[in-house]
Amino acid sequence: MNELNHLARVSDRELAGRASGAGARALLEAIVTEEITAGDPVPRPRAPRRTRRFVVGLVATAALAAAAVVGPSLLTDGEGTATSYANSAIDIELRGDTWVARVKDPYADHALYAEAFKAVGLDVGLNLVPVSPPRVGQVVRMGFEGTVDNGKGIGGGSEPDGCTLGQAGCSLAVTVDRGFIGKGVISLGRAAKPGEKYQDAGPASRKGGMLAGYRADGRTVGEVLAEVRRRGLKAVFQVIEPGPGGSGYGVDPKRQPAQVGDDWIVWEAEAEEAGVVRLLVTKERLPKNPVYGGHKPDDMD
Q: What CA–CA distance (Å, rounded) separates 191 from 189?
A: 7
Residue 161 is predicted with a pLDDT of: 87
- Could you tell me the mean pLDDT of each successive run of 10 residues in the chain, 301 residues long? 47 47 49 45 44 35 43 59 91 96 96 96 95 92 74 90 88 94 92 93 90 96 98 97 88 90 97 96 95 84 63
d(CA 247, CA 238): 17
Residue boundaries of the structural domains of the chain: 73-191, 221-300
User: Would strands 98-103 and 234-239 be described as parallel, antiparallel, or unpaired?
Assistant: unpaired
CA-derived radius of gyration, the chain:
37
How far, in Å, CA of 267 to CA of 274, rounded? 21
Over the range 245-264, which residues count as b (16 or more CB within 10 Å of their CB) and which as e? eeeebeeeeeeeeeebeeeb
Per-residue pLDDT, 164: 87
What pLDDT score was predicted for residue 148?
56
Instruction: Note the pLDDT of residue 268.
Output: 97
